[in-house]
Amino acid sequence: MKTGQHILIVEDEPKIRDGLRDFLEFHEFRVECVDDGLAAERRVAEHRFDLILLDLMLPHISGEQLCLKWRQAGLRMPILMLTAKGQEKEKIAGLDLGADDYITKPFSLEELLARIRAVLRRTDPNRSVGQTFAFGPFAVDMERLTLRYNDDTAALTRRQAMMLQLFAANPGRIVTRQELYESAWNESLEGIETRTIDMHIARLRDLLEQAGGKTDLIQTVRGEGYRYDVS
Ligand code: CA
């Protein structure tokens, strides 16, 4: 039985779909295929995939609409978009759909594999700190979205938990507002006020203070961003 990461292929072209399935299975991934947007939406609602290979032009719901819908719903699984020649990468990237990467057909399978591995490496939230991790004297649980201190537990929003995760993965390093935004909002900072990030950080500090009284864990680095002070 295959124990590899689970990939959903959303592609309506049988030849491409079958070729991708064979290739990825050969490389020890577990693969599931659907051939239209509605089926993809249904499967993703039922199951957590490690990565989605998403064709752009699909029957019923386009890859572009799916990607937007999922991101708006707060789903953060890695998405690698398959785009056809002529739908230039820049143009699609400009749409800011929230995909993690794009590859243009026809592509070499080796290149696709490299991209898949890179996306999985980049987006694996467990790689650096895990589902539960320490943040100063607190224990953060990404599954339950809780912040624990001694015997007290406080609720976190997903964004707060993601910001804490980013800090915990980068102890002592300056984390920029852009990085925080990309990590917790899964979008690029363009067009939003940096003040929004600052407000969220202020709320996060309040929460830490209420939960355990330690407030200096997240330090402001003027003009740069924030730093998780582990000392
Ligand atoms: Ca297609």
For residue 223, the model assigns a pLDDT of 86
For residue 94, the model assigns a pLDDT of 45
What is d(CA 193, CA 195) in angstroms, rounded to the nearest whole number?
5
Report the separation in Å between the CA atom of 19 and the middle of ligand 1, taken as the mean of its atom positions.
Answer: 14
For residue 130, the model assigns a pLDDT of 63
Q: Taking the chain (231 residues) in consecutive chunks of 10 residues, what is each chunk's mean pLDDT? A: 78 96 94 97 91 93 91 85 73 66 88 88 61 87 88 88 89 85 68 78 91 82 90 71
Architecture in CATH for domain 127-228: Orthogonal Bundle (1.10)
Instruction: Return the closest-CA partner of residue 214 out of 222, 226, 206, 225.
Output: 206
Structure tokens at 84: 């056809």
Report the separation in Å between the CA atom of 180 and the middle of ligand 1, taken as the mean of its atom positions.
Answer: 34
Report the separation in Å between the CA atom of 177 and the middle of ligand 1, taken as the mean of its atom positions.
Answer: 37
Q: Which three-class secondary structure state does DSSP give residue 25?
A: helix
How many other CB atoms are there within 10 angstroms of residue 71's CB atom?
18
For residue 163, the model assigns a pLDDT of 92
**Strand 79-83 vs strand 101-104: parallel, antiparallel, or unpaired?**
parallel
Cis peptide before 106 (omega within 30 of 0): yes
Range(s) of the chain covered by CATH 3.40.50.2300: 6-123
225-228, strands of its sheet edge to edge = 174-175, 225-228, 218-221
Report the separation in Å between the CA atom of 58 and the middle of ligand 1, taken as the mean of its atom positions.
Answer: 5
For residue 1, the model assigns a pLDDT of 39
Q: Write the DSSP string, 161-214.
A: HHHHHHHHHSTTSEE-HHHHHHHHHSS--TTS-HHHHHHHHHHHHHHHHHHHS-
Cα of 230 vs its chain's centroid, Å: 25
Architecture in CATH for domain 6-123: 3-Layer(aba) Sandwich (3.40)
Report the separation in Å between the CA atom of 83 and the middle of ligand 1, taken as the mean of its atom positions.
Answer: 8
